[in-house]
Every structure is written in structure tokens, then in C-alpha cells.
Amino acid sequence: MATPDDVRELALALPETTEKPSYGTPGFRVRDRLFARLHQDGESLVLRIDMDEREALAQAEPEKFFWTAHYDRYEWIQVRLAAVDREELSELLRDSWRFRAPAALLRRLGEG
């Protein structure tokens, strides 16, 4: 089971990531582009994600991945922290970070 402390530690370990409040909860940004935030429900993490990938994840593992009506038209997914371990959380954060990181940063780090 992942925790909000795990989210903070893993997100801030990603290159050029800063923490800044988003909707009153901790948000994590790469070069001021929000890629993750703790949801106000206290139980889930909101991640930026490609819409096709979002659909696939939610269909494959609805116990882990979902979104509320608020996010219907946006590239965000919610992750139930209790349903993922630290390793999976790290991968999810890294993928979301990559999705939002500027191309120049990705190229500089050999990720683009």
C-alpha cells in the first residue's frame, strides 16, 4: 500500500520536480507543469495521462484506476493509493512526469 509520504518522496526524486499546492492539496510539477497531485479525498492520487492509456488502465484494473465526472474530458486519472505498492507508484509517477516534461528536458536526460 502506497502512502502520501511515498508520493511526495518519489515525485520529488524526479528531475526538476517541485511541490506546489494544487486545489488545496500537494501538487507536483516539472518545470511548473502539473503532473500529479494528491486528491482531496485523502485516498487517491491524480495523475496526468494519455486518454487512450487512461481508458485501458481503468478497464483492466478498476480497483486501482478510475476518475470522477470532473475529469471526464481531461487527461487525468485517479489511482487508489491503497491498491498500489511503492514500486508501481514509482512507475506511474515517472510515466506521468514524462508525459508532462518539456521535450528539451527529456532529450537532455536521454528520455525523449
Q: Decide if 83 contacts 63 (C-beta within 8 A).
A: yes
Q: What is the mean pLDDT of residues 13-26?
A: 96
Q: What is the per-residue pLDDT across 35-48, written as a single tens digit (0 to 9) for each?
A: 999 999 999 999 99
Does the pLDDT value for residue 112 go beyond 70? no
Query: Which numeric CATH code is attached to 4-103?
Result: 3.90.1150.30
Give the separation between CA 20 and CA 24, rounded to whole angstroms: 9
The span from the CA of 84 to the CA of 109, in Å, is 27
Q: Using DSSP bridges, classify how beta strands 76-80 and 33-38 pair: parallel, antiparallel or unpaired.
A: unpaired
DSSP string, 3-64: -HHHHHHHHHTSTTEEEEEETTEEEEEETTEEEEEE-TTSSEEEEE--HHHHHHHHHH-TTT
- Residues near 36 by Cβ (< 8 Å), separated by ≥ 6? 7, 11, 27, 28, 45, 46, 47, 48, 93, 96, 97
- The model's pLDDT over 51-78, given as tens digits with 9 standing for 90+, comes to 999 999 999 999 999 999 999 999 999 9
Claim: this prediction has a pTM higher than 0.85: yes
Could you tell me the residue ranges of all domains in the chain?
4-103
